[in-house]
């Protein structure tokens, strides 16, 4: 099982889930997307002393040139390597859904099942277009994405801490949420949110898939998650199996055991996950 994080996060965020998967006999690896974790670089202004917020607001991002295609090709390579060329279950969270969608269109033969966890699926519109009416991230971005080439956070800014907590970690234990904020990166490539992902029914649309709706998500509201399920259904051979979790945006931190149980079902029956309508 391949675990894909979202914007500003990294492979680290899946750490609470992997032991629960292992206990169920499911091997898993978490990967760093292009422009993130070990594949990313922070803006110099983040650590400059004296610190100048104006520099952070205007400095071109080191990951500005990373495209959806770049990240999707890198993810395909990781999936192929991890499975020795055999198909596997891929789980994508938040902005990672953009990259997983593009990867499934590129190499559908590597996807036994694609699980979206409160993820963006820009098959009908870009992430920017999907999120425009909700304004969830406007209050935490510290730079114009068009200027710096990135969706830029400043997790170290105490004035933004409560907003970040509310968006991502509403039901996460305080100590774990603080640790997660300290691990967030500053930049996610702006192109991830700007590009619509073109997909076809006989490639992406033929990949078995499900969507885990997080009902307490303040970053991607439930209504938007369900809209994206309808968008997937419009281009897919089979209807999306929908599972609900009574969770914030970061179910991997707040409900790792319950999430592992959902993912285990996808692993057991990759082509036919049972849909649930009640919260787990």
pTM above 0.75, yes or no: yes
Residue 109: alpha-carbon gap to chain centroid: 21
- Domain segments of the chain as ranges: 2-268
Closest CA to 113 of 9, 267, 244, 238: 267
Q: What is the assigned CATH class of domain 2-268? A: alpha beta
User: Under DSSP, is residue 208 helix (H, G, I), strand (E, B) or coil?
Assistant: coil
Going by DSSP bridges, is the β-strand pair 2-4/111-117 parallel, antiparallel, or unpaired? unpaired
CB neighbours (10 Å) of residue 101? Answer: 27
Rounded Cα distance between 27 and 4, Å, is 15
Question: Could you give the percent of the chain with pLDDT greater than 70?
Answer: 96
Burial of 159 (0-12, 13-18, 19+ CB in 10 A): exposed
Q: What pLDDT band is residue 277 in, cutting at 50, 70 and 90?
A: very low
Q: What is the pLDDT of residues 16-55, one digit of tens each?
A: 999 999 999 999 999 999 999 999 999 999 999 999 999 9
Q: How many residues does the chain have?
A: 280
Q: What confidence tier does 279 reach under pLDDT thresholds 50, 70, 90? A: very low
**Residue 274 DSSP label:** P
Cα 9 from chain centroid (whole Å)? 8
pLDDT digits (tens, 9 = 90+) for 141-156: 999 999 999 999 999 9
Task: Quote the CA–CA distance of 117 and 185 in Å, as a whole number.
Answer: 20
Count other C-beta atoms under 10 Å from residue 121's C-beta.
28
- Which residue pairs, CB below 8 angstroms and at least 24 apart, start in 75-83? 75/2, 75/4, 75/31, 75/33, 75/34, 75/99, 75/100, 75/103, 76/103, 76/106, 76/107, 76/110, 78/2, 78/31, 79/2, 79/103, 79/107, 79/110, 79/111, 80/107, 80/110, 82/2, 82/29, 83/110
């Amino acid at each position: 099982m391949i675990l894909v994080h979202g914007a500003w996060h990294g492979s680290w965020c899946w750490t609470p889930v992997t032991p629960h998967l292992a206990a169920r006999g499911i091997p898993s690896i978490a990967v760093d997307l292009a422009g993130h974790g070990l594949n990313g670089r922070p803006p110099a202004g983040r650590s400059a002393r004296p610190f100048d917020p104006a520099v952070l607001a205007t400095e071109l991002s080191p990951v500005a040139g990373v495209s959806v295609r770049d990240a999707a090709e890198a993810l395909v390579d990781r999936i192929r390597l991890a499975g020795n060329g055999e198909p596997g279950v891929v789980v994508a969270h938040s902005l990672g859904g953009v990259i997983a969608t593009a990867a499934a269109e590129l190499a559908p033969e590597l996807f036994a099942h694609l699980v979206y966890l409160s993820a963006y699926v820009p098959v009908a519109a870009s992430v920017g277009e999907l999120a425009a009416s909700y304004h969830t991230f406007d209050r935490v971005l510290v730079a114009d994405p068009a200027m710096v080439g990135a969706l830029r956070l400043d997790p170290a800014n105490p004035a933004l801490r409560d907003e970040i907590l509310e968006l991502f970690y509403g039901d996460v234990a305080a100590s774990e949420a603080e640790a997660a904020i300290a691990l967030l990166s500053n930049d996610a490539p702006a192109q991830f949110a700007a590009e619509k992902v073109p997909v076809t029914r006989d490639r992406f649309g033929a990949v078995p898939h499900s969507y885990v709706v997080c009902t307490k998500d303040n970053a991607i509201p439930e209504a938007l998650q369900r809209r994206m399920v309808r968008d997937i259904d419009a281009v897919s051979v089979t209807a999306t199996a929908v599972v609900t979790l009574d969770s914030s945006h970061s179910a991997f931190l707040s409900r790792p055991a319950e999430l592992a149980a959902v993912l285990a079902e996808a692993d057991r029956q990759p082509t036919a996950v049972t849909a649930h309508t009640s919260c787990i």
